[in-house]
A and B are shown apart, each in its own frame.
Chain A
Amino acid sequence: MLRFSLHCLFQTASLLLRRQQLYALTIILTLGLTLGALVATFNLNYQLFMAPLPYPDAERLQLVRGSQWQQDKQVAAEWLPAQGQLDVYRKNWPEVDSKALHNIGIDVAQNLPGNPSFNIGYITPEYLPMFDAPLALGRHFSQKEGLDSQVPVAVLSYQVWQQHFAGDPAVLGKTLQFRGVSFSVVGVLAERFVEPVLAAPGWSTDLWLSYDFNDVGTLNWSFSSNQIHLLLKLKAGANPQQLAQRLAHSFEQWAAPEFAAANQSNAFLKNSTVRWRLEPVRSRILGDAAGLSLSLLAGSLLLCAIAIANIANLVLGRAMAQQRSLTIRIALGARASHLFRQYLLEFSVLAIPALLLCLSVAEACYQSLQAGYAGPLPRLQELGSGTLSVLFAIALLLVLCLTLALWLTRQLNYRQLQQSLQQSGKGSAVQVSGRTRQLLLMSQTLFCLVTLIYCSQIFVQALAKLRQPSGLDLQTYQVALTQGSLLASSQNEERRQLFVQAAEAVKAQSNAQLVGVGGYPPISFWQAGFPMSSVSQHADQSAPAPTYRYNGDAAYLTALGLTLKSGETFSRQQIQNQESVVLISQSLARKLAANISTGVSTGVSAGVDTTGNDPIRTMLDKPLYLRGATSPSRIIGVVSDLILPGHADSAAVYTPATPTAFPHLLVRLPDGQSLSRELVNQALAQVHPQLKVFRFHSSAEIFASHTQDAKVATVVTAGLSLLALALAGLGIFAVIRTQIQLRQYELAVRQSLGARPQHLLQLTLLDSLKPLLWAVLVLTVGYSALQLSLNFGWSFDFAGQLQIAPLNAILALSTVLLLTTLIVVGCMRPLLTRPVVHALRGTTTQ
C-alpha cells in the first residue's frame, strides 16, 4: 500500500514537473525563498526570546547595575561606582550563591610572533564556573588565583588555541606576556562554549586573564565603566528585587558617606546618589536587539503573506485550467474528499523541494546574520539549522498544504461541474466569489504597498547616510597603541612624553605628512562607541549641553579632517601644559550661542552678541565648563562638524590633552604611499620596547565598517522591494488572470455585441484597480490610526520608520498602478487579439 502510494506520489510529481514546469517552479521558489526567510527569523527570535540560555540555572544569573540621580532626577541611566562594585563583590550576601567580576580589554601579546592583539576578559575565578564553561584542556581559575592574589594565569578560547598554538595539548604551562606580565596558561575552553556577551555587541573574548591584571587601574568612587560587570548567581528562590533593595540600603550604610566625600569636589558627581538595581543576564545579553529581530520577523511575515496570497491565486488559476479533468473525475465518481487528497498530494510533492530550498535559504540567512550583515545581534553563535528549524519548516509547509488543499476543494462547484459535462464547457465551475477575488487582490496590493513604502524609506535614509559627507579625512591611518607594562611602571607624564616621541618616530620612519596623537577618535575600531558627555556655560554645571568629547594635539585634529572655522588651534605649549582651552564644533557653537541669546545662560550674558555677527565668532574666548570640572576652559576656536554614523549629534568639544594610556596615532601619508603595522612597530621599538600597535586600520576601513549597516540596509531594502514587487506582481497577475478567465465568456459576449478592445480594457482595468483603491484606503486608515494612537501617547518602535513620506507613497502607488495596468494589458492581450468565437466556445485564454 505504502509502495503504491509512493509510486503515485512520484508519478504525480514527475507529471507536474513535466507538464507545468513554470507553475511548479514558481511555487517551489516562492515557498522556498519566503518560508526560508521566515524560518530563519523565527529561529532568531526564538533564540533571543524563548530559548533557554545555555547555562545552568540561567534565570538566577543577575548583573548589578546602577544609575546616577540628583534630587530625584536621573542624570545618567548607567552609572555605578567601580569601587562600589568591588565592595559588593567582597561582601557576603545571604541571597547570593556566587559572585564574579568581569572586565574587558584589548591588549597585545608581547611574546607571540607578530605581537597579535587579543580581546581579553579579566575575570575572577567564579566567572567561568558560573556559566559552566566546558573545558577542552586543563582547568578554570582556582580560588587561589582570585581577587588580590596577583597570580597571572590565563584560560584560552578554543579558537586562540587552534590559531596560535596549532591545537597543541602541551599549551598548558606555556606563558603569554601582556604588559610585561607573563600569564601561565592553565586551561583551554571547549569549542562549544557560548560566551555571554555582556559588554559590547559582537564582542568575542580570545582569552581570560586573572582579574587583578585588568587595565582599568585603581578603582575609586568617581569612576564608572560599562565594561566592568559584577555578576551574581542568586540562591534558588531568592528575590532579585529584594536583593536590589538590600544592596541599596546597605550602600547607604557602608558607602554613601565615603562616596559623597570622594566626590565633593566633582561638580558632576557631588550631590548625587546611586540607585542600584539587578538586571537578569538574559536581558543584558539580549540588549536592544529586540527591535531589529522583530523587524526582521515582521518583514519576513509580510513577504510570506504576499507569497501565500500568490500561491492561492496560482493554484486557483491552475484549478480553473484543469476544469475538464475535474469534470471527468467527478463523472467517474470522485467526491470532494478524493479531490482534496489529490490536491494535498500535489502540494506535498511541491513542498518537498520547497522544504529543501527553504532550509538552504534559512542556513544562508544564519550565515549572513553570523557574518554581521544585519548588525551585531546576540546569541548568533547558537543559531543554526537544527531540529527546530526543520520541524518548524515542515510544520509550516504541512499547514500550508492542508489549508490550500481544503480551500481549493471548497472553491469547486460540484453541481456546475457535473452540469458542465452536458454543456459545451462554457463558463467556469471553479467558483470564487468576486469578493474573495477582490480581497485577494487587495491584500496583495496592500502588502506590496506597505513593503514598498517601508523599504523605500529605509532605503532613502540608508542611502542618505552613505552619501552624506562625514567631514572625516579618509586618507589617514588610525593606529591604536598599547603601553604594556608602562601603565604600572611609569608616571602619567612620562607616558605622555613617550607617546609624543612615538608620534615623532612614526612620522620619521614613514615619511608621513602628519602624525597626531590623541585619545579614541570619533569613530574607531571600537564599534560600540562611547556615551555623550556634556558641557555647561555655568560653574554649577546647570543647563548642560550634550556633547562628545575628544582629546588630541593640533596634528591629530587636522588628521581627523577638521578645519578651523574661527579662532586658532592648539599650540604646542597648550598641549604640553594641558592648558584649559578647548576647540568646539560649529554645531556646539551655534547651540551655545543660541542659549546665550535666549537667555538660558546668565553667567556669560555680558558676551551676548546683539550686533548680528556670526554666532560662531561670538563664542570665542567664552568660558566653558567640561563635565566634572570646577574651573572653566576657554574656547579658543571653532572647527568644522563631523557627521558620523551612529552619532546622534555633531556637537563636540576637543581638549589639548595627550592621553596617559591607550593613545591613538592618526597618520597621514603623502598621496600614493601606504603604511604597515610592522613599520609602525619598528618605529615604536625605537622609543620603548613596551609600546606596540594593537589596532591598525585605515580611516576608510573604519568608516566603511561603521556604515556597514547602512550598506546592508540599502542592499536588503532594495532586494526586499524587488522581491515584494516580483511576488506581488506574480500574485496580482494570478488574480487578474483568474478574473479574466472567469470573465472571458462574459467578455466574449460583450465583444459579440460590439464592444471594442478599449471597452474591454477599460472595463477590466477599472475592475482590477478597485482593490488598489481599497488598499490605499486601508493604508490611509491604518496610518491615521497610528498617528492618532501616537497623539494619545502610545508609542511604537516601528512608527518612526512608518512615517509616510508623500513622495515614497506616491512612488510606491505609481509602481503598483503601473504594474497592475501592465498585467491587465498582458492578460487581456490574448483575448483581444484572437477571434471572439474562441472565447464563446469556452477555449481558455492561457
Chain B
Amino acid sequence: MREQKINMQGITKVYATDEMETHALRGIDLAIYAGDFVSICGPSGCGKSTLLSLLGLLDMPSGGSYQIEGKEVSGLSLSEAAYIRNEKIGFIFQSFNLIDELTVFDNVALPLRYRRQAVPKAELEARVMACLKTVDMTHRAGHRPNQLSGGQQQRIAIARALVGSPALLLVDEPTGNLDSRNGDAVMDMLCELNNNGTTLCMVTHDPRFADMASRKLHLLDGRILDADGTPLLQQASVDQQHAAPLRQVAP
C-alpha cells in the first residue's frame, strides 16, 4: 500500500460576516497518496480554491481533521503552519507569483532560505540548479521574472515548487494565464513530474487537463460529488475509497 500523504476528514469551512455565514466546504473527506495526481474541478464558487488553500495551510478549516503524513495540522499556529508549508508543500499558482525584485535563481531558492535548518550554500546552489535543469531554465538563472514569457515564468514557478522536495505539490489553475501551447507544455511537465513520483493536487477549470489526472474530484456547493453526481458524504474509509479509485477516475 502506498504511503498516505494527505488525510482530510469532515473538513468544513465557514466564512462568517455580520450579516450571514457562507459554507464554502461542507464536510470534505479526502485522502491523497504518494504518487497520486488528483485534479479538482467544479464551477466557480464551488469551493475549489478554498479546498486548495486548506490543503496548502494557507487557511485553517472551521472543522474536521486534517493530517499531512500522519500529523494533525488543522490547529497549528501560523508559524508552525509556515514550517509545514515550507517543508511539505510546494505551490504552483495561476499567476506564477514570482517576486519581481529577485532573480530567477533567488526566486527558486526562496523556499530553501526559509528552512528551519539553514541549507548550506553549495547544496542550495546545487538543488536550485537541478530544479532549473528539470524545467530547462538554467540559462535564465540570472534573469528577472519580468524578462521572461508567461510559460517561462510558470516553469520557474514549478522549479520553485520542487526545490524543497515537498510531499505534495498544489497546483492552482496552472494554465490559466498561458496560451494553449505553453499550457500544454506545462501540463506535460506536471505529468512527467507525477510519473517520476511527485504527488500532485491540481485545481483546474479545463476538463482536458483535469482528465490528465489519475483521480478526478468534482466539487459542487462545498461537497465532493460521486461519479453519478450525488455528494459523497462521510465515506467510511478513505482507504476503501482509494482501493476503488476508478469510481471517480475518468476512463
Contacts and interface: CB of A to CB of B under 8 A. Distances in A.
B114 A752 contact: no
Nearest to B79: A756
A754 B99 contact: no
Contacts of B83: 754, 756
Contact of A754 (B53, B85, B93): B85
Contacts of B160: 753
B59 interface: yes
Interface stretch (A7-15, A743-751, A778-786): A743-751
Contacts of A426: 95
B60 interface: yes
B189 interface: no
B56 interface: yes
B114 A753 contact: yes
A832 interface: yes
Given A759-B114, A832-B78, A835-B53, A753 B91 contact: yes
Interface in A730-755: 745-746, 749-755
Interface residues of A, number: 21
Interface string B66-104: 000000000000110011011100010101010101000
A86 to B, nearest CB: 82
A755 B114 contact: yes
Contact of A752 (B60, B79, B87, B97): B97
A776 interface: no
B159 to A, nearest CB: 12
Contacts of A807: none
B101 to A, nearest CB: 8
A833 B79 CA distance: 10
Nearest to B86: A754
Interface in A743-798: 745-746, 749-759
B111 interface: yes
Interface in A793-846: 832-833, 835-837, 840
Nearest to A834: B78
Nearest to A746: B99
Interface in B120-140: none
A837 B58 contact: yes
B-side interface size class = 20 to 34
A837 B114 contact: no
Contact of B78 (A423, A746, A750, A757): A757
B110 interface: yes
A753 B59 contact: no
A835 to B, nearest CB: 4
Given A759-B114, A835-B53, A754 B58 contact: no
B82 A755 contact: yes
Nearest to B53: A837
B99 A752 contact: no
B85 A752 contact: yes
A133 to B, nearest CB: 72
B35 interface: no
Nearest to A427: B95
A837 B93 CA distance: 12
Which residue, A746, A756, A832, has most C-beta atoms of chain B within 10 A? A756
B164 interface: yes
Contact of B110 (A753, A832, A833): A753
Given A754-B82, A757-B79, A836 B110 contact: no
B59 A836 contact: yes
Contacts of A750: 99, 110, 114
A837 to B, nearest CB: 4
A835 B110 contact: no
Contacts of B114: 750, 753-756, 759
B58 A840 contact: yes
A837 B59 contact: yes
Nearest to A424: B95
Contacts of B82: 751, 754-757
A750 B56 CA distance: 13
Which residue, A423, A745, A758, A835, has most C-beta atoms of chain B within 10 A? A835
B99 A749 contact: yes
Nearest to B161: A753
Nearest to B164: A754
A752 B78 CA distance: 11
Nearest to A759: B114
Nearest to B52: A837
Contact of B58 (A423, A746, A756, A835): A835
Contacts of A836: 58-59
A413 to B, nearest CB: 14
A671 B115 CA distance: 77
Interface string B227-240: 00000000000000
Interface in A201-243: none
B41 to A, nearest CB: 19
A100 B45 CA distance: 95
Contacts of B58: 751-752, 835-837, 840
Contacts of A753: 85-86, 91, 110-111, 114, 160
A751 B93 CA distance: 13
A755 B99 CA distance: 14
A785 B82 CA distance: 49
A366 to B, nearest CB: 50
Interface string A407-438: 00000000000000001001000000000000
Given A756-B86, A837-B58, 9 more contacts: A745-B97, A746-B99, A749-B97, A750-B114, A753-B85, A753-B114, A754-B82, A757-B78, A757-B82
Interface of A: 423, 426, 745-746, 749-759, 832-833, 835-837, 840
15 contacts: A745-B97, A749-B93, A750-B99, A750-B110, A751-B85, A752-B56, A752-B58, A752-B97, A753-B86, A753-B114, A756-B83, A757-B79, A832-B78, A840-B53, A840-B58
10 smallest CB-CB distances across A and B, nearest first, come from A754-B86, A835-B59, A837-B58, A837-B53, A837-B59, A756-B82, A836-B58, A754-B114, A749-B97, A753-B111
